Every structure is written in structure tokens, then in C-alpha cells.
Amino acid sequence: MGELAIEVTNVTKSFKVYQEGGQSAKERLIRAGRNPHIVFKALDDVSFEVKQGETFALLGHNGSGKSTMLKCIAGTLRPSTGRVVTRGRLAALLELGAGFHPDLTGRENIYLNGSILGFSKSQIDVIFDDIVEFAELSDFIDQQVKHYSSGMYARLGFSVAINVEPEILLVDEVLSVGDESFQRKCIDRVRQLQADGRTILLVSHAAELVRQIADRAAVLDHGHLVDIAEPGEAIRTLRETLARRGIALLAEDEDVTEPPPAPKYADPPSLTVPVVNVDKQVMITKVVAEYPDPDAKFLLPNQPMRLRIDYFAPERIDDICMAFEFQDPHGNVIFGDDTQTMEQPIHACDGVGAVCFDLPRVPLLDGAYLISVTATTRNGGQVYDRRDLQDRFEVMQPGRQRGTVALEPKVVHYFHDAGAAHETETDGSAHTGDAAAS
């Protein structure tokens, strides 16, 4: 082990971008003599290594250079400077069956595609049935592919690439093709390849997929390599780079983020009170989410957190209640509470002070969560001050679990053996399968 499957060393890829005009000789002649182009660096001095048997992901927003990087590794583009070295037979998952000819039958296309990937007819003969079966196209294999649905098309393309069993598999956003059951099958197959010790390079902006299957991930931003880390941390870095650019990272494969829906306050209603109030009786001056490690930029799942609300009350106010609310990246309110509901009322505010909510455990998974804070009267009738969605805390999840809430399930397996009921807990040492077999 420890051999490198892919070595990328100081790779820069620059393109000349012409601001106007097209590709014809006339337009090029017209441009000649002027300085018509700008040099655009799609990749800027990128280096990384992928070990054999590793699943490595390239993360980044659209235009970050991740697809250019993949093309340089696949050999369809050559870097301007720098080296790319690969070891082992390499196959790229062709997007939606690129390279299929609509007038040829599925069978003919499989052989053609196989030879494009560098396989001989006899090598394809061996795996032909597997390809057809995996693509679920047994009944249609001798039909022209132009009669295929787009799903069938994609399935066939995926099936060819994954069944030729390359030593290095390049996957570019294609795991999202086909229906859900086929997708699951694909991911299953990818895992099988992982278990076989194949190297996989995955390009995606689907953070959840990367979290599930990658061992390590590199984050690209504007052609620069920002970070190489475990998926959880890389996703956090990605989120940070996106946030700098004003894009929110959703768990799903989405490029455009809708603005979060306006916060809904069931109680207290605030519509009658003007939000901007120069002579507020209580002012929220600062909201901070304090992590156990003061230097940390994020929280780990199930760590404690303190939400501190600094206020300033010019005069003493007795009728006071503090409320807070957390929103997940999708704009759903995931938790809200206030000092009255908690039956831990604040007795009075006078001058400068801070109200803290201690959360002994924050059972959340990966994401940036937005905080809203409101200061009201005890019955909620009057809002003194509010601060909506301006502050946030972040959870970085190093593990592979999906979703929002950090539940901690344990496996309990009941089974029936020789008339006697057993109960085993799998805590890493006991294997129910072994028990059942013995």
C-alpha cells in the first residue's frame, strides 16, 4: 500500500478568453494585431496525490476548476505547466453515454465504447452480459439507442464504465443519473470497487455524496487548491468558500439557493411593533455562539454550546423575556425557546448585561445554522428588540452520517435460534451474524 495512483504536481491550466467574436478565420483576422484576449487560469498551481485504493473527491462550486482538473487527469486536456502522472488503467464515466451513436444498437455501442476505453472485443465479450444485466437492458440491447429513454441511455453508459473494472475510475457528477434505485445500485457498485481496492476520483458538488463515499477531499476555489482534508472538514471548507461568495451550500445537488423564507414567529407576534426603534427599552447589542474550544471555528456534533446575548437597557425593565431560534441551511426552524417557556424568567434588565443559554449538547450534524434572537415583554405583547438571522454557528461533522440531527443509534438484534430467543447488542465486539451461524 501507499503507492500513488495519481500524482498532480504544480498543475496550471490557462486559457485565452476572447471577449468578443467567435472561431471563424474572419473574426480571428479582425482580432489579429490587437490584444484581444485575457488569460484565464482555470487551475493555478494545484498539487495533490491520490493513493491507490483511495476514494478522493474534488469539491468546488461551478467554475472552480474541478472539471478542468479531471480532464487533465483523464488526458483530454493537457496542463499548461506541471505534471500529471497516473498508474493503472483509467476509465472515465462518460456523462450520459457520451460516445454512443444513436443509430447503432445497444450491443454495437457497448463494443464501440469498450474499444474507446481501450478494451479488445474478447475482453468485452467476457463482461458483456454483466454490462447488459447491470443496465437492466436485456430486452432492448439490440435496439438502436435512439429509441432509448434518457434513463436507459445513462444506465448503459454507466454500466459500461463500471463493468470494465478500471484500476482508476474517474466519476464526474454522473452518480446523479437514473432513478433512485439505479442510483443506489451505482453507489453500491462504487463501494464494491472501493472494497476491491480500486482508486476512485470523484468530482461533485453534492456534498452528501462525497461525505458518504470519499476518504479524502480537495476543495478548489477559482482554480486554487484551498484544502485537502477528510470529507467532513473539506465540506466545511467548501461551505466557507461558498459563503465568501454568497452562495449557501445545500445538502442536495443544487446550484442556486433560494433565499431563506421569512422567519415565522408564532409567538410573540411582532407585526405591530416597528423593528427600527431608536429609543428601545432593551437593545440586543451582540449575539455570540460560544464553543467549548474558544479557538475553534466550529462545533462538533453533540458538543456543548453557550448562546450569549449581550444587551443594553438604558432604564430598568422588569417585564422582560429573551427568545432564540435556530434555522438550518434550508431555512427550517429546528429549535426555538424563550425564558418564559423555560420557566427560568429573567427578573430585570438594567444597564449592560448578558443572557446566556447553556446548551449542554447540540445534537446537530453538519451545517451552518442561523440564529435569531428576540427581546420581548413576558407575555410577548411588545417586542423590545430583535436580531434575525444575523448570527450563526457552525457544526462540522467528521463522520459519514447524513441529515441534520445527530442521533446516536445502537443496534439491537433479536433473533430466534433453536427455540430460544436471544438478544445481542452489537457494540463492536459481538457479531449477530456469527451468533446466528453458530
Partner 1 sequence: MSTSIDPPTEHHEVLVPDRVSVSPALEVSKRPNPFQRVGHLWQYRELIANLTRKELKVKYKNSVLGFVWSLLNPLMYLLVFSVVFNIISEVPVPYYGIFFLSGLLAWNLFSTALGEGTSSIVQNAQLVTKVWFPREALVLASVFTALVHFALQAVVLLGALIAFKRVPDPTFIPVLLLALVVTLVLATALAIGLSAINVYLRDTQHLLEVLLLAWFWLSAIAYPYGQVVSKLNTSQFAGKEWLLALNPMLTVVISFQRTIYNPDYSGTSESALHEADTIPNHPMSWYLTHLSIALGVSLVLLFGALALFSKLEDNFAEEI
| 120 interacts with partner 1 by CB under 8 A | yes
* CA dist., res. 401 & res. 387, Å (int): 32
| 150 interacts with partner 1 by CB under 8 A | no
Q: Which of 108, 230, 337, 388 is in the footprint of partner 1 by CB under 8 A?
A: 108
For residue 399, what is the DSSP state? S
Find the shortest distance in angstroms from Cβ 253 to partner 1: 20
Among 53-61, 118-126, 215-223, 255-263, the segment contacting partner 1 (CB under 8 A): 118-126
Q: Please answer whether residues 376 and 383 qualify as being in contact, where contact means their C-beta atoms are separated by less than 8 angstroms.
A: yes
Please name the residues in contact with 246: beta carbons below 8 A apart, sequence gap of 6 or more: none
Q: Which of 19, 35, 62, 76 is in the footprint of partner 1 by CB under 8 A?
A: 76
Binders of partner 1 among 342-381, rule CB under 8 A?
none
Q: Which three cell numbers stand for residue 300?
A: 462538533
Binding-site residue total for partner 1 (CB under 8 A)? 47
* Residue 167 φ then ψ, to 5°: -75, -30
Interior CA angle at 328 toward 323 and 334, to 5°? Answer: 50
Name residue 302's amino acid: N
| 115 interacts with partner 1 by CB under 8 A | yes
For residue 299, what is the DSSP state? B
Find the shortest distance in angstroms from Cβ 86 to partner 1: 5
Q: Which three cell numbers stand for residue 347?
A: 427578573
Q: Please answer whether residues 216 and 229 qualify as being in contact, where contact means their C-beta atoms are separated by less than 8 angstroms.
A: yes
Please identify which residue in the block is written with the cell numbers 433453536: 418
Among 80-88, 290-298, 351-359, 430-438, the segment contacting partner 1 (CB under 8 A): 80-88
Kindly write out the interface string for residues 152-181 of this chain, putting x where it contacts partner 1 by CB under 8 A and - elsewhere: ---------------x--------------
- Indicate the burial class of 215 (C-beta count within 10 angstroms; 0-12, 13-18, 19 or more): middle
| 422 interacts with partner 1 by CB under 8 A | no
| 43 interacts with partner 1 by CB under 8 A | no
Q: Which of 19, 20, 24, 343 is in the footprint of partner 1 by CB under 8 A?
A: 24
Q: Which of 53, 60, 79, 301 is in the footprint of partner 1 by CB under 8 A?
A: 79
* CA dist., res. 216 & res. 230, Å (int): 5
| 147 interacts with partner 1 by CB under 8 A | no
Which is closer to partner 1, CB of 88 or CB of 261?
A: 88
* CA dist., res. 95 & res. 429, Å (int): 43
Among 17-25, 252-260, 311-319, 402-410, the segment contacting partner 1 (CB under 8 A): 17-25
* CA dist., res. 300 & res. 315, Å (int): 39
Give the binding site for partner 1 (CB under 8 A).
3, 7, 11, 15, 23-26, 28, 52, 71-79, 82-90, 92, 94-95, 98-99, 101, 103-104, 108, 111-112, 115-118, 120-121, 144, 167
